Structure 1
């Protein structure tokens, strides 16, 4: 590549020795995570940086912590990803990676394993190891549980990133920063949760004294399939649905949701729709609405 071409205005210099085309899109297939969820702006930018840094990684270096979580598709809060440097680890006694925008970590072989991510080709810590290392970064316990839910998810996937046994092995392998929080979160992790917000909603209801709801419950009536609801109390025919922004921004999805809710109500179900504002800013209001539905049915 001629030197003059590398100096043009459409070329960025994210790291020493690395040049990338400005505004270049991610490689095909990486705009969504392994479950088909579209990546947010912060996740796309962070993944692009990881792909740009990969060619200059030294032997023994691998992505870890927040960066590995983004690569693997483990859901994290937007601001945490947006404000994070790349996290790159190396096994002792190799030297820590040093570069602007990169945070180096020293890993113990007894605590950390690595794996080559099939989708990106990037070398990361194993999913269970990544989750166990997030106890310090994920200051809200609900986010740590939601990340664990994603790692062990078996609902509508070919295979989970890891098993509950893998998570338990990771948190009992030895001392690491944040492991105490991971140990507390582990008993609350479930294999059939489909999203971070669904995990948050489940935990919010439980911690306000309500019974643990069924997750991603399939509903049929008179032999007709009516749909899958986020959370449910099947015996009471109460469905609890989280209404994220994507529902409103996708007219076709919104139309399908309305038809599904009408079919559920016609079959005798109560549908409680919880908004983002209620879940994250007024959880007591969300809980009260669900409690009122239980009281009516009870």
Structure 2
């Protein structure tokens, strides 16, 4: 029968510092309990296997990964120097960026300090020292995190050019509210801010950042959308407008589409897995496709499989030719 652990004080939130718990009267023996994880020196996290095993499906798995990074960052923040801040891929996860396949939420946290203060040295932490003008810091849910532009620029030597574009697109996109209205003040960064961060004096990997910046565009709302766009550009498909509002003759909004080849009456929609698994979303997609068709648009819907296996550009190329495009037919 599993051993029952003595309850922790209700005022002790998890994660917590060892010293914090001891000050509340928790015994050293209780703090060695098997239900408490010790991710960093002098910190504890109350484990909850049931909650972690509840995640299933791509979106939920992504949420689990981000929740784990946040949990560990909060734990380390209990003992982190007041001069420290999260950066690199840790900051990217905390800022909601798309994360590369195989990203390990239990990898060392990336923690920066500004010269002349020493880099952090601790188990589970990758510390480094930088200059103040290269790492601007903001508050994210009570954590000190590099700003989106600084985070992006500081990943120049860690990510491929393709991934720098994916993350750049994420940072510069203009979110929309539940009614589809653009909210430019809610965007995480502007292209000009990314450029300024890349060109800051002393910035390492500047050439890679500048190359990636030439491909960053406002309008991609997901990793899949950016990946398809980059593949379409490499395949020499014609220019595609992004995040376009489609309205009827009366001015009423019919849809906001991922991509549009306006000259060829063709719309491209990139469908994440939730379009398949969410019944309400599935029904909305069907209704919207019918409404667009009634306005004379052909809608090409691209699944993640199509994009990942490279066949998406061929599908769109064929549709473009049906609508009069005379570009290369490819292979």
**Cross-structure match for 1:20:** 45
1:42 aligns with 2:65: yes
Which residue of structure 2 lines up, in the alignment, with residue 268 of structure 1?
A: 296
Question: Residue 232 of structure 1 corresponds to which residue in structure 2?
Answer: 260
Pick closer, same or farther for the CA change 1:99–1:182 going to 2, 3 Å: same
Query: SS at the partner of 2:121?
Result: coil
1:134 is matched with: 155
Query: Which residue does 2:34 correspond to in 1?
Result: 9
Map Cα deviations across residues 125-144 of structure 1 (whole Å, 9 max, x no partner): 221111011122222x2221
> Once the two structures are superposed, what CA deviation does each residue of 1:67-121 show, in whole Å capped at 9, x if it has no partner?
111111122214234463210001112222112211111111232222222xx11
| 1:103 correspondence with 2:120 | no
> Considering only aligned residues, what root-mean-square deviation do their CA atoms show, in Å?
2.3
Task: Report if aligned partners of 2:241, 2:261 keep a CA contact under 8 Å in 1.
Answer: yes
Distance 2:74 2:50 in 1: 12
Give the whole-Å Cα distance in 2 for the aligned partners of 1:276 and 1:39: 15
In 2: Cα distance, 1:162 partner to 1:229 partner: 22
Q: How does 1:1-298 map to 2 (within 5 A)?
A: 1=21, 2-3=26-27, 4-23=29-48, 39-82=62-105, 84-117=107-140, 120-139=141-160, 141-156=161-176, 157=183, 158-223=185-250, 224-281=252-309, 283=310, 285-298=311-324
Q: Which has the larger radius of gyration?
A: 2
For structure 1, the 5+ residue unaligned runs are: none
Contact 2:69 2:106 in 1 (8 A): no
User: In the TM superposition, what is the alpha-carbon distance from 1:147 to its structure 2 partner?
Assistant: 0.7
Q: Report SS of the residue matched to 2:132.
A: coil
Moved over 6 A (4+): none
Superposed CA deviations along residues 41-85 of structure 1, whole A, max 9, x for unmatched, are 222211211111111111211101111111111222142344632
Taking the aligned partners of 2:72 and 2:50, their CA distance within structure 1 comes to 12
Aligned partners of 1:202 and 1:212 also within 8 Å? no
Unpaired segments of 5 or more residues in structure 2? 1-20, 177-182, 325-331
Aligned residue pairs, count: 285
